[in-house]
Amino acid sequence: MEKRSAAREMAFLVLFQLPQKTDRVDITKLSKMDFHAICLSAIRTLADHSSSNLKKAESFLLKTERHLMEYQVNHPDNEMLTEASRSVALPTSQDFLEQINNCYQAINLLKEALQIPETYWHYQDTDIQEFTLSLVIKYVDHKEQIQQLIRELSANWDIDRMNKVDRKIIEIAVAEITQTDIAPAVAVSEAVKLANKYSTPEGVKFINGVLADVVKTVSSPDYSL
């Protein structure tokens, strides 16, 4: 994982550890030991998330195993057998294809769990720590303006009722788009990567749509945050 990608993910995770009210966040403390404690707490949150995903992966695989066993036992070729059922050709129904998709989902969830040691290793990198802290501070300093911009560009959504994961991904991306020299297209691409990992397919589309509007707005000569 590229350093800035790792820092963005860490910044995203850190946002969940901060007080929801900006005026309760002491910026001076964020640049000291408190920030390291917050990062470690974020990693523990990621570990909890992965633990939940592992249980979900196990559920997917057990469900697929049961489906295949039931299909084999109930297959017409095995109806009259009094002993162990014989192997049968795999079905090609939509139901079976969904079970195969469950297996792919389980594999992807396992991959995510295996990334925790890498995330912790990246956290030890000074460059990643500095970029993460810089991005979080920019977010905290401009949170009200960032949220106001999002409200204006997602008129059909109440930001306070928006899925929390989707909201944080959008907010950290808007902070990067409006407060750093990173190319907006890169910030959007990285936000979509986070959405693919932490959100839903619907969330990915929503995030991509909102951020496309953000980029269009901030590119206007008349724009100022």
Q: What is the pLDDT of residue 207?
A: 92
Question: How many domains would you assign to the chain?
Answer: 1
3-state secondary structure the chain: CCHHHHHHHHHHHHHCCCCCCHHHCCHHHHCCHHHHHHHHHHHHHHHHHHHHHHHHHHHHHHHHHHHHHHHHHHCHHHCCCCCCCCCCCCCCCHHHHHHHHHHHHHHHHHHHHHCHHHHHHHHCCHHHHHHHHHHHHHHHHCHHHHHHHHHHHCCCCCCCCCCHHHHHHHHHHHHHHHHCCCCHHHHHHHHHHHHHHHCCHHHHHHHHHHHHHHHHHHCCCCCCC
| Residue 216 counted as domain residue | yes
| Residue 136 counted as domain residue | no
Q: What is the pLDDT of residue 125?
A: 77
Residue 32 has pLDDT above 60, yes or no: no
| Residue 204 counted as domain residue | yes
Q: Would you tell me how many other CB atoms lie within 10 Å of the CB of residue 140?
A: 19
| Residue 221 counted as domain residue | yes
Global pTM value: 0.68
Domain range holding 169? 142-225
CATH number, position 151: 1.10.940.10
Confidence of residue 74 (pLDDT cuts 50, 70, 90): confident
Q: What is the pLDDT of residue 169?
A: 95
| Residue 134 counted as domain residue | no
Confidence of residue 174 (pLDDT cuts 50, 70, 90): very high
User: Which of 210 and 49 is assigned the larger pLDDT?
Assistant: 210
| Residue 53 counted as domain residue | no
pLDDT in tens, 141-152: 899 899 889 888
| Residue 11 counted as domain residue | no
In whole angstroms, what is the distance from residue 10 CA to residue 36 CA? 11
| Residue 151 counted as domain residue | yes
Q: What is the pLDDT of residue 34?
A: 64
